[in-house]
Amino acid sequence: MNDLHAPLHAEELDAEGIGGWPFGIRDRVRFSELDALNHVNNAVYFSWLEMARIAYLLDYGLTGMSHAAPDPQIVVRRQSADYLAPIHFGESYTVTMRATRLKPSSLVTDYGIYVGRELRAMAETVIVSLTQDGTARQAWRDDAVARMVERDGATLAGFD
Amino acid sequence: MNDLHAPLHAEELDAEGIGGWPFGIRDRVRFSELDALNHVNNAVYFSWLEMARIAYLLDYGLTGMSHAAPDPQIVVRRQSADYLAPIHFGESYTVTMRATRLKPSSLVTDYGIYVGRELRAMAETVIVSLTQDGTARQAWRDDAVARMVERDGATLAGFD
Amino acid sequence: MNDLHAPLHAEELDAEGIGGWPFGIRDRVRFSELDALNHVNNAVYFSWLEMARIAYLLDYGLTGMSHAAPDPQIVVRRQSADYLAPIHFGESYTVTMRATRLKPSSLVTDYGIYVGRELRAMAETVIVSLTQDGTARQAWRDDAVARMVERDGATLAGFD
Amino acid sequence: MNDLHAPLHAEELDAEGIGGWPFGIRDRVRFSELDALNHVNNAVYFSWLEMARIAYLLDYGLTGMSHAAPDPQIVVRRQSADYLAPIHFGESYTVTMRATRLKPSSLVTDYGIYVGRELRAMAETVIVSLTQDGTARQAWRDDAVARMVERDGATLAGFD
């Protein structure tokens, strides 16, 4: 059986008409994600961003998601979402993601949430890389930085 | 028994050292709101904003939260949060809220999330008032607009 | 693109070493489903049962999941779960399901939750079929009853 | 300010017409706990049981809820719920709880979920006390056992 949850890359996203993104995941709306207005609740979108982000962090080698060094502890410092049109039960969605601005131990990422080719929401997060004990910043790995620059076209700031 | 969930107003918030806010709610962190990092998950904060917002909408008379006219259907168009410090199990928090900018059928609100007197997160939402069938904008009630101006000092735009 | 969320039937489940079940769904653990003990929270399993059940109800033709007649409103009357071993982040699971006892407007179903071939939890629910306004029982469709008997070997009680 | 979330004991519960229970907590339904059927989702009840259970474990001295010895790690081995009538937005509920059967490192508890004096759901859980590393059983503290016998009338089995 193939991996149902394998992330999507630029070529696959392009082929489905969602052009211009280097990374994405796909899933289907769950009944438990609806609220009493019968559409996906606004807070649920941030769990979807988290799913995409964790898949991205693993795929780009930013962390192995362990709770031990040398993996960093990654925390969200800021996030926002724009809701363009509601999402309903039974719909499948794609969360796309890219790194836009990159500092030695923090990162700004953009997201799109699509149903088919239709953009239903946009979002942005700022994440920070800490040591596992949470007391200090921990720099991103060089190879992961290189991937974010190459695949995503992320701009760098604050690097020597 | 007094109402354990009665919202707080300016005087009560001032008395607890959270000055400058016209409205707030208080609750305690639930175990189910923690994630594997052992602090409140970032997406959960948006459910807290929703609790504060619904209490506010009812308190200011913006809606009765029914699913029938003349109550509007209120949807979130945009929201953001800044996370200043993590929140842990067993802590009680206050979500404060005020209307800042007001248009005939939309509204920008600010939030603070405090543990004791310490600001742990800030947030902002843009909400829109629709008719129950979701097809058109529905203007805010005049008395609710007056309350947001008087209590919150909200600025108006787009009113005749 | 094939349907990533298509339900599994007896032949596919058998092929993966999960024999004896007529129906299943597969998904992967989400970070947001973990609790502070770093395994899937016990309450989350019931959302997984719900996902499996809704897929089953649609697949067997018990409801179209609309909020209008002739679809019934289906409510859970009783449920239980036995937790055999914890489930962790990154694991993929299969929720299997079958109807065991069937009455004209209610239904007992069994579930297994597997990671690979290993049974991690078992569960049972009793659901009831109501009219959309919730005031009366609504009988299951004959063709759906026939499917539950044929595919699942459900036993009947209370039918004429 | 008094503690809004202080647990209730037999006398307070009796005074509100919920007789026969030694322990309870009270809270109000959140909008996010509703599902598309506009009542509290069946899985949410298990989070409410968890809130009651954690308050109970702390109140009776079974654990300090730390992640370090001598506190045990407490896991749910089995649970069930019976849903008698739906619960709606705006309603406040009381979750009552008592220990019924007690073994050296496990415990069966009963729950009632009331809105006013009306029983809306009943539940039962079996929990197990493990060492923090999860590899062995850890016996309950003697003083906590004594409280469960005295306050709840729990029956003992398997003690020397």
Weakly modelled stretches of chain D, pLDDT under 50: 1-2
Measure the CA–CA gap between B40 and D92, rounded to whole angstroms: 24
With 80 as the cut, is the pLDDT of residue B1 above it? no
- Using CB atoms, pick whichever of A37, A47, A73 lies closest to residue B43: A47
What per-residue confidence (pLDDT) applies to B67?
A: 86
How far apart, in whole angstroms, are the C-alpha atoms of residue D22 and residue D9? 5
* pLDDT level of residue A38 (50, 70, 90 thresholds): very high
| Euclidean distance between CA atoms A154 and A127, whole angstroms | 14
Give the distance from residue A98's alpha carbon to the nearest chain B alpha carbon, in angstroms.
19
Asked if D51 reaches chain C (Cβ–Cβ under 8 Å), the answer is no
- What would the pLDDT profile of C115-150 be if each residue is shown by its tens digit? 999 999 999 999 999 999 999 999 999 999 999 999
**Which one of B34, B46, B120, B124 would you mutate to disrupt binding with A, by most A Cβ within 10 Å of its Cβ?**
B46
Residue D75 identity: V
Q: Is D4 on the interface with B (CB under 8 A)?
A: yes
Q: Note the pLDDT of residue C15.
A: 95
Closest approach of B29 to chain A, Cα-based (Å): 17
> Is the sign of the CA dihedral A71, A76, A81, A86 positive or negative?
positive
Tokens of B150: 């008087």
pLDDT tens digits, B117-135: 999 999 999 999 999 999 9
Q: So what's the pLDDT on residue C4? A: 57
Which chain D residues are closer than 8 Å to B92 by Cβ?
Answer: 4-5
B47 CB near a chain C CB, below 8 Å?
no
Q: Residue A43: its chain D contacts at CB < 8 A?
A: 32
Q: Which of B117, B80, B79, B76 is nearest to B96 (CA)?
A: B117
Provide the pLDDT for residue A4: 57
In this structure, is the dihedral angle defined by the CA atoms of residues B63, B67, B70 and B75, taken in order, positive or negative? positive
Asked if C91 is an interface residue toward chain A (Cβ–Cβ < 8 A), one would say: no
Mean pLDDT of B69-83: 96
The confidence score (pLDDT) of residue A67 equals: 86
- Residue to substitute from C3, C28, C88, interface A, most A β-carbons within 10 A: C28
Helix, strand, or coil here: A14? helix
Nearest chain C residue to B35 by CA distance is C35
C42: left (phi over 0), alpha (psi -120 to 50) or beta: alpha
Residues of chain B contacting residue D54, judged by C-beta atoms under 8 Å apart: 31
Whole-number pLDDT of residue C38: 92
Which residues fall within 8 angstroms of residue B98, CB to CB, at 6 or more apart?
B21, B22, B23, B109, B110, B152, B153, B154
Token output for C67:
């909020």
- Quick one: pLDDT at residue D95? 98
Q: Which of D36, D41, D79 sits opposite C81 (nearest CB)?
A: D79
Chosen for mutation from C1, C11, C29, C46 (greatest number of chain A CBs closer than 10 Å) is C1
Give per-residue pLDDT as tens, A136-158.
999 999 999 999 999 999 999 99
CA nearest neighbour of B95 among B118, B109, B114: B114
Pairing of strands D8-9, C8-9: unpaired
Cβ contact, residue pair C42, D43, below 8 Å: no
Residue B103, phi-psi category: left (phi > 0), alpha (psi -120 to 50), beta (remainder): beta
**What DSSP assignment string belongs to D7-29?**
PEEHHHHHHTT-TT-SEEEEEE-
Interface test with D, best of B12, B28, B44, B46 (most D CBs within 10 A): B28
Question: pLDDT truncated to tens, each residue of chain C (160 aa)?
Answer: 345 578 999 999 999 999 999 999 999 999 999 999 999 999 999 999 999 999 999 999 999 988 899 999 999 999 999 999 999 999 999 999 999 999 999 999 999 999 999 999 999 999 999 999 999 999 999 999 999 999 999 999 998 7
3-state SS assignment for residue B124: strand
Query: What band does A160 get if pLDDT is binned at 50, 70 and 90?
Result: confident
pLDDT of residue C6: 87
For A40, the token pair is 């996906």
Hey, what amino acid is at C61? G
Q: Do A83 and B76 touch (CB under 8 A)?
A: yes
* CB-CB neighbors (< 8 A) of C75 in chain D: 37, 83, 86
pLDDT at site D67? 86
Looking at residue D1, its pLDDT comes to 37
pLDDT score of D8: 96
DSSP conformation letters of D50-119: HHHHHHHHHHTTS----SSTTSPEEEEEEEEEEE-S---TT-EEEEEEEEEEEETTEEEEEEEEEETTEE
Cβ contact C36–B31 (<8 Å): yes
A119 vs D: CB within 8 A? no
Question: Which chain D residue's Cα is nearest to A40?
Answer: D36
d(CA D95, CA D44): 13
Put simply, whether D38 touches A (Cβ < 8 Å) is: yes
B42 in contact with chain A, both atoms CB, cutoff 8 A: yes
Looking at residue C3, what is its pLDDT?
Answer: 57
**Residue B2 in this model has a pLDDT that exceeds 50:** no
Please give, rounded to a whole number of angstroms, the shortest distance from the CA of D8 to a CA of chain A. Answer: 31
Using CA atoms, how far residue C13 sits from A141, B59, C143, in Å, is 41, 54, 24
C77: helix, strand or coil? strand
* Mean pLDDT for chain C overall: 94
pLDDT digit string, tens, across residues B12-21:
999 999 999 9
The pLDDT assigned to A27 comes to 94
